[in-house]
């Protein structure tokens, strides 16, 4: 029941945009409005997917892990709409202007890097990729944190003046990264403590054979 509810909740912002577009109710500048909304919901879905593991570890609610893939795909869905809005409403399909924007405006460059990361993660979010990549799949999907950093930096450099919202997103991402690092360190320390006694036994020096001094054996026999 939780997964369908989360699916509907994640889809509501897109439905609101469709409704606003149909009713011509997207403010005086619909391009900017859609760009802002899709950017915000990209971050919201991405951060929600990154929150799944901490929630599972802190609460023991294992069922929540089923939401992670879906929320990650919704993050890609909204970032794709974000990019599409930029292409259609900001640059009107002018490829030369888009390339110039990516190369000359740092916040666009970082945003495009974040999009490409989410594209790779979305393409590999299936059982075939998990089976094919094996252990590398988990390492690859840790790039979601890099995408989060790219998204926050993109937003921060975009607004320039009022950085209140980007600071909030940055604080949330710092917390999530801090928890990830803390648990990784705990896991490493626990692994070292478990392997400690075994390594001590393995490193115990072997007893050297007694030197065979002439006449000693005869003395011992006496």
Residue 105, domain CATH: 1.20.120
Q: How far is CA 146 from CA 34, 118, 185, in A?
A: 24, 10, 19
Rounded Cα distance between 75 and 47, Å, is 9
Residue with token string 């909740």: 9
Contact between residue 146 and residue 21 where contact means Cβ atoms under 8 Å apart: no
The count of structural domains within the chain is: 1
pLDDT reading at 162 higher than 50: yes
Give the pLDDT score at 219. 37
Is residue 16 one of the residues assigned to a domain? Answer: yes
Question: pLDDT tens across 45-96, in order?
Answer: 999 999 999 999 999 999 999 999 999 999 999 999 999 999 998 888 899 9
Boundaries of domain holding 90: 2-185
pLDDT reading at 196 higher than 80: no
Is residue 42 one of the residues assigned to a domain? Answer: yes
pTM of the prediction? 0.84
């Amino acid at each position: 029941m939780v997964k369908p509810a989360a699916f509907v909740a994640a889809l509501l912002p897109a439905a609101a945009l469709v409704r606003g577009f149909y009713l011509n109710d997207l403010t005086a500048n619909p391009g900017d409005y859609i760009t802002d909304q899709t950017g915000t919901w990209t971050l919201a879905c991405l951060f929600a997917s990154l929150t799944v593991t901490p929630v599972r570890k802190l609460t023991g609610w294992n069922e929540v892990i089923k939401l992670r893939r879906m929320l990650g795909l919704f993050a890609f869905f909204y970032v794709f709409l974000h990019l599409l809005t930029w292409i259609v409403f900001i640059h009107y399909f002018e490829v030369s202007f888009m390339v110039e924007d990516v190369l000359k405006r740092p916040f666009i460059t970082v945003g495009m890097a974040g999009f490409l990361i989410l594209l790779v993660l979305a393409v590999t979010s299936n059982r075939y990729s998990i089976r094919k990549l094996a252990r590398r799949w988990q390492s690859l999907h840790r790039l979601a944190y890099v995408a989060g950093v790219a998204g926050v930096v993109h937003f921060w450099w975009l607004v320039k003046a009022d950085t209140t919202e980007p600071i909030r997103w940055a604080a949330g991402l710092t917390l999530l990264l801090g928890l990830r690092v803390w648990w990784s360190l705990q896991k490493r320390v626990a692994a070292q403590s478990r392997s400690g006694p075994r390594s001590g036994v393995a490193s115990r020096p072997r007893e050297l054979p007694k030197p065979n001094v002439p006449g000693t054996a005869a003395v011992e026999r006496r």
